[in-house]
Amino acid sequence: MKQRNLNRLVVGVLMIISGIAALVLNTGETAVGTTLFFAGCAFLAVGIVRHRQYGDDLESDERSRKTGAYGLSYAWLTGLFFMFALFWLDYLNLLRLGTQGALALSIVVLALSGRLYQVYLFWRGDVE
């Protein structure tokens, strides 16, 4: 097992244990314990999936890094244009969003466009 995957498993187990301890010992606030528990589950799941999927083989090469970087660059530009459009929609009183709504939409657009661009570019094969 790669050291990176082993570290993910150890961190996941420690976070799960910490989350359970925080939930059991703290009677009023459950947000910290719940966050630690589910973050630990995510670390644990990623470590297991990565180990099963790649084992001791290479996870990426130069071409896949380049393709991923291009996808994230395109996503950054998409997010920039989206925020530019939000600004003008607000300025022209066509769409009124609060700060939380605008930030939430921006985060969703950035995350989804990043993943979609990467999937498309990996499917296409190469960026040039």
Q: Which distant-in-sequence residues (6+ apart) come within 8 Å of 8 by Cβ?
A: 43, 44, 46, 47, 50
The pLDDT tens digits of the residues spanning 67-89 come to 889 999 999 999 999 999 999 99
pLDDT for position 46: 93
The residue written with tokens 């498993």 in the block is: 9
Torsion over CA: 50, 52, 53, 58 (sign)? positive
pLDDT > 90 fraction of the chain, expressed in percent and rounded: 66
Taking residue 70's Cβ as centre, other Cβ atoms within 10 Å add up to: 16
Average pLDDT score over the chain: 90
pLDDT for the residue numbered 59: 62
Cα 15 from Cα 34, distance rounded (Å): 10
End-to-end Cα, the chain, rounded Å: 35
- pLDDT score of 60: 66
Ordered DSSP codes for 61-101: -HHHHHHHHHHHHHHHHHHHHHHHHHHHHHHTTS----HHH
